[in-house]
Amino acid sequence: MVRFTVLASGSKGNSAVVSGGRTRILVDCGLSCRELFRRMRLVGEEPETLDAIVITHEHMDHVNGLAVTARKLGIPVYFTEATYRAWMRWLTPRRQMTYAQWLEQCRKLAAERQAEAEAAQACEQDEQDTEIQLENVAAEAETLLADGEAQTAPEGPPSRKQDPTWLPAVEYFQAGEAFEIGDIGVSPFTIPHDAADPVGFVFRAEGVRVACATDLGYIPPNVKAQLKGVDLLLIESNHDLEMLRDGPYPWSVKQRVLSRVGHLSNEATADYLEKVYDGQAAYVILAHLSESNNLPELARVTAERALNGRASLLANRLLLAAQHEPLSPISF
Ligand SMILES: [Zn+2]
Ligand SMILES: [Zn+2]
């Protein structure tokens, strides 16, 4: 059985679970670990049975609870390399320190590493390496001093406990290259959005195809191609154009949302549903609705109008994903 459950959708957090065969994947991790687990249990999903987490992009509403959740479950996280790096940069505090402070930190870290190595009864070579590393660090510092950059010396690598970016395992994928996680096939595709390397996904299991496409400024040809013939379509319906125009956001934010790398409006999604969508999905889920610039009923009516204009599409069930409560699981 293939099952798909939206746990949260919107600018305050996004997460869904896709299950097929013996595999369960968490798609994005935008809720705190505690809230994620609470919602999973509410809909009969066991957090402990998750096998992996896949990430669409590094925006906060998609990764907020990522490190804590992955550590708690001890499961791998799949990113594109650029997204992983952007996520790490976002989590790594940029502190300014003096040369003396920096050297002291490097010494401490080297000592920590040495202690760890000794505790693990590491071989002599390791100890030599540690010493060499310490010398290298000092040499590097001298060079920086000579270059006049010592006041903004880079941080040494933090230890595992302090490191907010530490994950049990990281796996890279690339947009356009399908891969497998257990019994589920995953096809990531590029979407136009203002993040490092954002993707949508099509998941395949037991002959069922589930597509997730949110956080995109428009629907380019590659995305249209990916969304063909899917059994479940989760698609963004972020804002009502008029509500956004007259709404509370500052002009610069409105421009960002409306841009080609922003978010899909109700109208843009309706246009896609009317003119391009093939009507194959048993379920269409409208997602990532803005709480400031949209109303669920408005999104629903706009999409319904677009779908009902085509008689052959009446079998589609239209659902709305919510920010504050999970949707009932959908099974195939
Ligand atoms: Zn988002
Ligand atoms: Zn985003």
Task: Tell me the pLDDT tens digit for each residue of 12-63.
Answer: 999 999 999 999 999 999 999 999 999 999 999 999 999 999 999 999 999 9
Q: Are 58 and 193 in contact (CB under 8 A)?
A: no
Residue 297: partners with Cβ closer than 8 Å, 6 or more residues away: none
127 and 224 in a common domain: no
320 and 218 in a common domain: yes
Task: Using pLDDT thresholds of 50, 70 and 90, give the confidence band for residue 163.
Answer: confident
Task: Using pLDDT thresholds of 50, 70 and 90, give the confidence band for residue 158.
Answer: low
In a domain, residue 167? The reply is no
Q: Show the CA angle centred on residue 54, arms to residues 49 and 59, nearest 5°.
A: 125
In a domain, residue 183? The reply is yes
Q: How far does the centroid of ligand 2 lie from the alpha carbon of residue 257, in Å?
A: 10
CATH for 60: 3.60.15.10
In a domain, residue 165? The reply is no
User: What pLDDT is stored for residue 23 in this prediction?
Assistant: 98
128 and 33 in a common domain: no
3-state secondary structure of 234: strand
**Phi first, then psi: what are they for 38, rounded to 5°?**
-60, -45
| Cα distance between residue 83 and residue 58, in whole Å | 6
The residue from 146, 162, 181 where one domain ends is 146
Q: How far does the centroid of ligand 2 lie from the alpha carbon of residue 250, in Å?
A: 18
| Mean pLDDT value across residues 238-256 | 94
Residue 267: partners with Cβ closer than 8 Å, 6 or more residues away: 240, 241, 302
User: What pLDDT is stored for residue 92 in this prediction?
Assistant: 82
111 and 18 in a common domain: no
3-state secondary structure of 320: strand
Q: In this structure, which residues have their CB less than 5 angstroms from ion ligand 2?
A: 59, 215
Point out the ligand nearest to the CA of residue 195: 2
195 and 120 in a common domain: no
User: What pLDDT is stored for residue 104 in this prediction?
Assistant: 77
Point out the ligand nearest to the CA of residue 217: 2
- For residue 67, pLDDT over 90 is answered with yes
Task: Using pLDDT thresholds of 50, 70 and 90, give the confidence band for residue 311.
Answer: low
User: What pLDDT is stored for residue 132 in this prediction?
Assistant: 46
Residue 188: partners with Cβ closer than 8 Å, 6 or more residues away: 54, 80, 173, 174, 175, 176, 177, 178, 199, 200, 201
In a domain, residue 67? The reply is yes
**Phi first, then psi: what are they for 303, rounded to 5°?**
-70, -40
Q: How far does the centroid of ligand 2 lie from the alpha carbon of residue 77, in Å?
A: 18
User: What pLDDT is stored for residue 95 in this prediction?
Assistant: 60
In a domain, residue 160? The reply is no
| Mean pLDDT value across residues 312-326 | 86
134 and 71 in a common domain: no
Point out the ligand nearest to the CA of residue 59: 2
In a domain, residue 166? The reply is no
In a domain, residue 217? The reply is yes
Q: How far does the centroid of ligand 2 lie from the alpha carbon of residue 237, in Å?
A: 13
| Cα distance between residue 332 and residue 77, in whole Å | 26
As for how many domains the chain has, the answer is: 2
Residue 239's domain spans which residues? 3-80+173-331
230 and 314 in a common domain: yes
Point out the ligand nearest to the CA of residue 13: 1
Q: Are 272 and 282 in contact (CB under 8 A)?
A: no
User: What pLDDT is stored for residue 288 in this prediction?
Assistant: 98
Point out the ligand nearest to the CA of residue 15: 1
Share the mean pLDDT of the chain.
Answer: 87
Point out the ligand nearest to the CA of residue 28: 1
| Cα distance between residue 80 and residue 274, in whole Å | 32
Q: How far does the centroid of ligand 2 lie from the alpha carbon of residue 56, in Å?
A: 9
Most confident segment among 89-98, 158-167, 198-207: 198-207
Q: How far does the centroid of ligand 1 lie from the alpha carbon of residue 143, in Å?
A: 43
User: What pLDDT is stored for residue 257 in this prediction?
Assistant: 93
Q: How far does the centroid of ligand 1 lie from the alpha carbon of residue 142, in Å?
A: 44
189 and 228 in a common domain: yes
Q: What is the pLDDT of residues 274-310, one digit of tens each?
A: 999 999 999 999 999 999 999 999 999 999 999 987 7
191 and 280 in a common domain: yes
Among the listed ranges 4-13, 107-116, 280-289, which one has the minimum average pLDDT value?
A: 107-116
Task: Using pLDDT thresholds of 50, 70 and 90, give the confidence band for residue 146.
Answer: very low
Q: How far does the centroid of ligand 2 lie from the alpha carbon of residue 215, in Å?
A: 5
Q: How far does the centroid of ligand 2 lie from the alpha carbon of residue 71, in Å?
A: 23
Q: How far does the centroid of ligand 1 lie from the alpha carbon of residue 61, in Å?
A: 5
Q: How far does the centroid of ligand 2 lie from the alpha carbon of residue 151, in Å?
A: 35
User: What pLDDT is stored for residue 127 in this prediction?
Assistant: 42
317 and 205 in a common domain: yes
Q: What is the pLDDT of residues 191-200, one digit of tens each?
A: 999 999 999 9
Task: Using pLDDT thresholds of 50, 70 and 90, give the confidence band for residue 94.
Answer: low
191 and 304 in a common domain: yes
Q: Please tell me the number of Cα atoms within 13 Å of 108 on its side-chain side.
A: 11
